[in-house]
Structure formats: C-alpha cells, structure tokens
C-alpha cells in the first residue's frame, strides 16, 4: 500500500491538474468527460448524417475494446499501434510508472517514453510529477562526496529536524505563483507544500510561521 506521503502527493498532483483543467479545457480528460466521449462515440450511427460535433469526435478518437473494457484511443490508420488517452485520475500512476521505468528519468526521457503509448500526458503534468518526486529532490540536493563517507543524519522525533526547499516553477507559473515551497519533516517525511509568488524572505517566513503554528517549530531547520 502507498504510504500517506504518497497519497498526499497524488492528491496534490490531481488538484493541480484539475485546476489547470478548470482554467482551460485542454487535452486532460477527467473520468466523467472520458466516459462521456466513449458513450457519444458508441452511440454515433455511422450511416446516418453526422453532426459537426460527431465529425469532430470521429476524426479525433477511436474506441478500442479490450475485453469488457472500452478504451479511448487516438484515431489511427490500420495496423498502427494504439495510442491511448489517459483519464486525468490515472495520470499520476502512468507518469510514476514511466518515471520509475526510466530510472527517475528527466522530463525529456519521460516524454519520450510516454508519447509511445499515450496521447494526452502533458509536459506540464510530467514537470509537476518530477517536482514532487522526493527521491529526485533528494538526489538533486545531495552534494558530490566522492571518497568520503556520508554519515546519515539520525533523527529521533517528529518535528526535531526539518528542511525547506523552494522549487523553481517559473517556466510554468500559475497566475502569480512561480515557486513551490516544500517543507519536509526529516524523520517522517511529512511534507507541506505552499505556492509562492516570490522567494522573498518575508513571504517564505510568512508561510514558515504558518506551518510552525500548525505543526510546531523544529529544533533544527535546514
């Protein structure tokens, strides 16, 4: 079973995608929309005169029967491998699989892997996932210490040691938000995320204070 942190991350990820979907109906397909398109496509009478909407759907999509399940794929020519449309709700797991399969690969590696099979996994979604991967964040932070022994930091209690990171999201800002502040409890890996408009000390301090009031202040803050 996924640990609570994983669930938090998935929930955060889904929220972010839903926010984007609400702003701009894009290639993302929430389950409801996905099922609706399949229902429309299967109800379309191919011999009758089609509405412009039906033309649009038939040009873009195809329904693939996999056992008892109907799947939405990109309209293809005969003998072409199916390229699947993913439901928004499944996107996290799909990206996660590709991320692990590529050995915590970067965005380009993942894009390459995912476009082989999926039609609507956005670069944006991949970047969000990548920014949330704790393993990747840890790797990025790790200094190159060739030849020296790294002594692990031992922490006994929740709240005794925490760290704060700020992730640069300037290339895909949301409104005024350009940064994500990640507050991590060292022992439990309990993590709090906050959107930031800037890296100004006052703004960071404001959020830190808020987190301290919620969880208590740590003895050591990195």
Q: Which residues bind Zn ion (CB under 5 A)?
A: 104, 133, 135-136
Q: In this structure, are residues 166 and 181 in contact, taking their beta carbons and an 8 Å threshold?
A: yes
Judged by CB, which is closer to Zn ion: 32, or 135?
A: 135
CB of 111 to Zn ion, least distance (A): 15
- Please spell the DSSP secondary structure of 31-85, one letter per residue: HHHHHHHHHHHHH--TTSPPPHHHHHHHHHEEEEEETTEEEEEE---TTPPP-BP
CB of 158 to Zn ion, least distance (A): 24
Judged by CB, which is closer to Zn ion: 108, or 135?
A: 135
163's CB contacts (< 8 A; 6+ apart) are 183, 184, 186, 221, 222
Judged by CB, which is closer to Zn ion: 119, or 121?
A: 121
Judged by CB, which is closer to Zn ion: 60, or 189?
A: 189
CB of 105 to Zn ion, least distance (A): 8
Residue 58: both structure tokens together: 């038939």
CB of 191 to Zn ion, least distance (A): 14
Residue 43: both structure tokens together: 């109800």
């Amino acid at each position: 079973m996924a640990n609570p942190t994983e669930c938090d991350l998935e929930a955060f990820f889904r929220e972010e995608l839903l926010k984007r979907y609400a702003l701009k109906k894009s290639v993302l397909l929430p389950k409801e929309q996905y099922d609706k398109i399949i229902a429309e496509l299967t109800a379309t009478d191919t011999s009758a005169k089609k509405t412009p909407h039906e033309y649009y759907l038939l040009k873009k999509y195809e329904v693939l029967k996999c056992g008892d399940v109907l799947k939405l794929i990109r309209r293809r020519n005969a003998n072409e491998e199916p390229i699947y449309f993913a439901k928004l709700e499944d996107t996290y797991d799909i990206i996660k699989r590709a991320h692990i399969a590529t050995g915590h690969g970067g965005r380009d590696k993942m894009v390459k892997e995912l476009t082989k099979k999926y039609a609507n996994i956005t670069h944006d979604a991949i970047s969000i996932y990548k920014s949330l991967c704790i393993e990747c964040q840890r790797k990025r932070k790790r200094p190159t210490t060739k030849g020296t022994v790294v002594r692990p930091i031992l922490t006994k209690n929740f709240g005794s040691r925490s760290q704060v990171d700020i992730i640069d999201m300037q290339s895909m800002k949301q409104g005024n938000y350009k940064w994500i502040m990640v507050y991590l409890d060292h022992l439990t890996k309990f993590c709090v995320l906050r959107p930031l408009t800037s890296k100004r000390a006052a703004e960071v301090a404001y959020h830190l204070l808020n987190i301290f009031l919620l969880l208590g202040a740590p003895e050591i803050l990195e």
